Amino acid sequence: MSSVSKTASKTPIVTRPNEIVTIERHILDQQAAHPEARGDLSKLLYDIALTGKLIAREVNKAGLVDILGETGVTNVQGETVQKLDDFANECFVKTFDHGGQLCVMGSEEVDDPIQIPSKFECGDYVLLFDPLDGSSNIDVNVSVGSIWSIYRRKTESGPGTLEDLLRCGAEQVAAGYVVYGSSTMLVYTTGEGVSGFTLDPSIGEFLLSHPDMQMPKAGTVYSLNEGYRNLFFDSTVRYLEHLQTNDPDSGRPHSARYIGSMVADVHRTLLYGGIFMYPATKKAPGGKLRLMYEANPMGMIMEQAGGMASTGKERILDIQATELHQRIPLYMGSEENVKLAVEFETGVR
Ligand code: AHG
Ligand code: MN
Ligand code: MN
């Protein structure tokens, strides 16, 4: 950590491709490298891109049409559901319930497993998603996103069950997110590195803009809701004090950035390095963010880009889920930053 210069993290490590590659082409090329593949995962990835475009279109006109405001319904997390949450959730369900690749789905917005209607075939995969992350930011035109992860089913055949959904993140076969920001980007991994695509809205195509994304080994930005400082445990407060201590030689104090949309905060962390965290608090000792919809998919992206994802004590992707809407404390980002956070959280420092 001591070798980090203040400017080291300012330039994202991105190799610009000099060819025009659509996401379809990229998915096909990846599939071609696996002659045994039947194409089901590829179909799921195409449909992720389609869902992303449908949601992006709606998010982009959120200020124009009478779509703002809240439906007044509370979701399973006890939070107010906004109309765009509903829309995004429906987009996922309507895109994925009839393709024949999935046997069950799980959504942050839906209490129970989402079954595939009996008139459609069930497939070998399982999809979990946070249809719209950061939805409290919609009304103020700040980036939001969708986060998703795909597993192979555990049960043999027929409709999927809770057993297919309650998994360990290390079992993910693909994961990613779409961030609806100043441009719409789709970032995903199938366990062979991370690729980023930017939507060209004029042609409706995601084009490869960020091939083989690797995050900086260390960064000088930390991201968390510091308003909860008085609710944090001592280990977390001491860690924050360390980051804020003036020590120019080691690049401290670090800068704080917090958007309040995990998808956007993690996207920045992926590009610039540093750490995003949502620690345990005295009020919420289990953390706030969800293991299956937020921590696991983003954790896989971080690791595939050379970063780390931890609860502060253990690797996120090693946790076996016991509940669909399970929450978890979270520290993810550049390897050196996360290692340091873990040292504080485990009492090594
Ligand atoms: P969601 O909109 O899917 O419910 O997620 C909101 C999450 C996440 O995006 C963000 O990092 C966090 O909530 C913000 O929480 P605080 O307002 O407590 O900081
Ligand atoms: Mn979320
Ligand atoms: Mn959400």
- 226 and 204 share a domain? no
Which residues contact residue 176 at a Cβ distance below 8 angstroms, ignoring those fewer than 6 apart?
48, 147, 148, 149, 186, 187, 188, 189, 297, 301
Q: Is residue 61 one of the residues assigned to a domain?
A: yes
Tell me, what's the pLDDT at 135?
Answer: 87
Q: Which atom of ligand 1 is nearest to the CA of 278?
A: 11
Tell me, what's the pLDDT at 83?
Answer: 81
Q: Which atom of ligand 1 is nearest to the CA of 137?
A: 2
Q: Which of 164, 181, 210 is the last residue of a domain?
A: 210
Is 99 within 8 Å of 124 (Cβ atoms)? no
- 338 and 230 share a domain? yes
Tell me, what's the pLDDT at 16?
Answer: 67
Lowest mean pLDDT: which of 10-24, 136-150, 272-286? 10-24
* Ligand 1 touching residue 130 (CB < 6 A): yes
pLDDT digits (tens, 9 = 90+) for 19-31: 899 999 999 999 9
pLDDT digits (tens, 9 = 90+) for 47-90: 999 999 999 998 988 776 554 555 666 767 766 655 889 999 99
SS (H, E, C) 66-127: CCCCEEEEECCCCCEEEHHHHHHHHHHHHHHCCCCCEEEEEECCCCCCEECCCCCCCCCEEE
- Looking at every residue in the chain, the average pLDDT score rounds to 92
With the most atoms of ligand 1 within 8 angstroms of its CB, the residue from 289, 298, 330 to mutate is 289
pLDDT digits (tens, 9 = 90+) for 233-244: 999 999 999 999
Distance 90 CA to ligand 1 centre (A): 20
Mean pLDDT value of segment 245-249: 97
- 178 and 294 share a domain? no
61-77 residues labelled b (16+ CB within 10 A) or e (exposed) = ebeeeeeeeeeeeebee
SS (H, E, C) 156-171: CCCCCCHHHHCCEHHH
Q: How confident is the model at residue 1 (pLDDT cuts 50, 70, 90)?
A: very low
Is 74 within 8 Å of 64 (Cβ atoms)? no
**Nearest residue (CA) to ligand 1, atom 8:** 262
Tell me, what's the pLDDT at 2?
Answer: 37
Q: Which of 210, 245, 280 is the last residue of a domain?
A: 210
Distance, CA of 192 to CA of 183 (rounded, Å): 25
Distance 135 CA to ligand 3 centre (A): 6
Range of the domain at 126: 23-210
What percent of the chain shows pLDDT beyond 70?
A: 90
Distance, CA of 163 to CA of 145 (rounded, Å): 27
**Nearest residue (CA) to ligand 1, atom 3:** 133
Q: Is residue 152 one of the residues assigned to a domain?
A: yes
Tell me, what's the pLDDT at 15?
Answer: 64
Distance, CA of 137 to CA of 157 (rounded, Å): 40
Q: Is residue 16 one of the residues assigned to a domain?
A: no
What percent of the chain shows pLDDT beyond 90?
A: 85
Q: How confident is the model at residue 4 (pLDDT cuts 50, 70, 90)?
A: very low
Tell me, what's the pLDDT at 79?
Answer: 67
Q: What angle do CA 39, 40, 44 make, to 5 degrees?
A: 115
CATH of the domain at 248: 3.40.190.80
Angle of helix 296-304 versus helix 262-272 axis, rounded to 10: 10
Q: Is residue 1 one of the residues assigned to a domain?
A: no
- Taking the alpha carbons of 118, 119, 125, 130 in that order, is the dihedral positive or negative? negative
- 134 and 197 share a domain? yes
Q: Is residue 304 one of the residues assigned to a domain?
A: yes
Half-sphere exposure of 217 (CA within 13 A, CB side): 5
Q: Which of 177, 210, 243 is the last residue of a domain?
A: 210
- 131 and 169 share a domain? yes
Q: Considering all CA atoms of the chain, what is the largest pairwise distance in Å, rounded to the nearest integer? A: 65
* Ligand 1 touching residue 260 (CB < 6 A): yes
- 89 and 178 share a domain? yes
Question: In terms of DSSP H, where are the helices of the chain?
Answer: 23-32, 40-60, 83-96, 162-165, 234-244, 262-272, 296-304, 335-345
Distance, CA of 257 to CA of 221 (rounded, Å): 7
- 193 and 46 share a domain? yes
Q: Is residue 295 one of the residues assigned to a domain?
A: yes
* Ligand 1 touching residue 134 (CB < 6 A): yes
Q: Which atom of ligand 1 is nearest to the CA of 133?
A: 3
Domain count, the chain: 2
pLDDT digits (tens, 9 = 90+) for 87-139: 999 999 999 999 999 999 999 999 999 999 999 999 999 999 999 999 888 88
Tell me, what's the pLDDT at 70?
Answer: 55
CATH of the domain at 136: 3.30.540.10
- 229 and 167 share a domain? no
User: CA dist 12 to 210, 270, 275, Å?
Assistant: 10, 8, 15
Q: Which of 185, 180, 230 is nearest to 209 (CA)?
A: 185
Distance, CA of 242 to CA of 247 (rounded, Å): 10
- Whole-angstrom distance between the N-terminal and C-terminal Cα of the chain? 14
* Ligand 1 touching residue 109 (CB < 6 A): no
- 203 and 272 share a domain? no
Tell me, what's the pLDDT at 18?
Answer: 78
- 139 and 241 share a domain? no
How many C-beta atoms surround the C-beta of residue 148 within 10 A? Answer: 25
* Ligand 1 touching residue 146 (CB < 6 A): no
Q: How confident is the model at residue 8 (pLDDT cuts 50, 70, 90)?
A: very low
Q: Is residue 240 one of the residues assigned to a domain?
A: yes
Q: Is residue 155 one of the residues assigned to a domain?
A: yes
- 156 and 228 share a domain? no
Distance 133 CA to ligand 3 centre (A): 4
Is residue 7 over pLDDT 50?
Answer: no
Q: Which atom of ligand 1 is nearest to the CA of 79?
A: 4
Distance 184 CA to ligand 3 centre (A): 17
| Ligand nearest to the CA of residue 293, numbered in listed order | 2
- 119 and 245 share a domain? no
Residues with CB under 5 A from ligand 2 (ion): 130, 133
